[in-house]
Amino acid sequence: EPEVTQTPSHQVTQMGQEVILRCVPISNHLYFYWYRQILGQKVEFLVSFYNNEISEKSEIFDDQFSVERPDGSNFTLKIRSTKLEDSAMYFCASSHAINTGPYGYTFGSGTRLTVV
């Protein structure tokens, strides 16, 4: 069964440092996403990426965040200057889509980011 792979599984970083979270989406999927889940809270949408550009982003996804698909397989989330409140599980997902909306979402196992 195809998987979305995320690395690292855990990342501890000092406040103010830059972090890059990496993802390998499913190869024939067209849409790529980042979601986050703060401990005890809902899974929240951060950003969607299609055709090599951001298609939508939430208010959480401010100038400190950026995404990139540097080659044909990797999809990365960069946080430029981490804050304590960025501590969360970050999930990458990919999907194909039909005209009725998101379909066939697959999530990775997540990266637990801890900012100290």
Partner 1 sequence: TQLLEQSPQFLSIQEGENLTVYCNSSSVFSSLQWYRQEPGEGPVLLVTVVTGGEVKKLKRLTFQFGDARKDSSLHITAAQPGDTGLYLCAGGAYGNKLVFGAGTILRVKS
Nearer to partner 1, 22 or 44 (CB): 44
Tell me the CA distances in angstroms from 69 to 24, 50, 75, 85, one per residue in order: 10, 10, 5, 25
Q: Note whether 33 binds partner 1 by CB under 8 A.
A: yes
Contacts with 76 (C-beta within 8 Å, 6 or more apart), sequence order: 20, 21, 22, 23, 67, 68, 69, 70
Determine, following the binding rule CB under 8 A, whether residue 97 of this chain makes contact with partner 1.
yes
- Decide whether 55 or 81 has the Cβ nearer to partner 1: 55
Task: Note the residues at the interface with partner 1 (CB under 8 A).
Answer: 4, 31, 33, 35, 41-45, 48, 50, 55-56, 58, 91, 93, 95, 97-98, 100-110, 112
